[in-house]
Amino acid sequence: MRILLIDNGTTLLAKLQQLIPGEEVVLQPKNIPASEFDDFDLIVLSGSKDLTVMYDSEHFKKETALIQNTQTPIIGICLGCELIVTAFGGTVKRLDERHSGIRKINIVSGNASLGVKDGDVREVYEGHHWIIDETPKDFEVIAVSQDGPEIIRHTTRPIYGFQFHPENLIDQTAGDEMFMNLFTKFTQK
* Cα dist from 156 to 21, 76, 107, 160, whole Å: 26, 16, 20, 11
What is the per-residue DSSP string for 103-157? EEEEESS-BTTTTB-TT-EEEEEEEEEEEEEEPPTTEEEEEEETTEEEEEEESSS
* Model confidence at 189: pLDDT above 80: no
Average pLDDT, the chain: 91
pLDDT tens sequence across 81-130? 999 999 999 999 998 888 789 999 999 998 889 999 999 999 999 988 89
User: Is residue 25 within 8 Å of 33, Cβ to Cβ?
Assistant: no
**Is residue 28 scored above 90 in pLDDT?**
no
pLDDT of residue 144: 97
CA distances from 44 to 99, 119, 121, 146, 165 (A): 22, 27, 24, 26, 12
| 101 close to 141: Cβ distance less than 8 angstroms | no
Q: At what angle do helices 61-69 and 79-87 cross, to 10 degrees?
A: 70
In the prediction, which pLDDT does 57 show? 82
Domains of the chain by start residue, with CATH: 3-187 (3.40.50.880)
The pLDDT of residue 153 is 97
Positions marked catalytic: 78, 165, 167
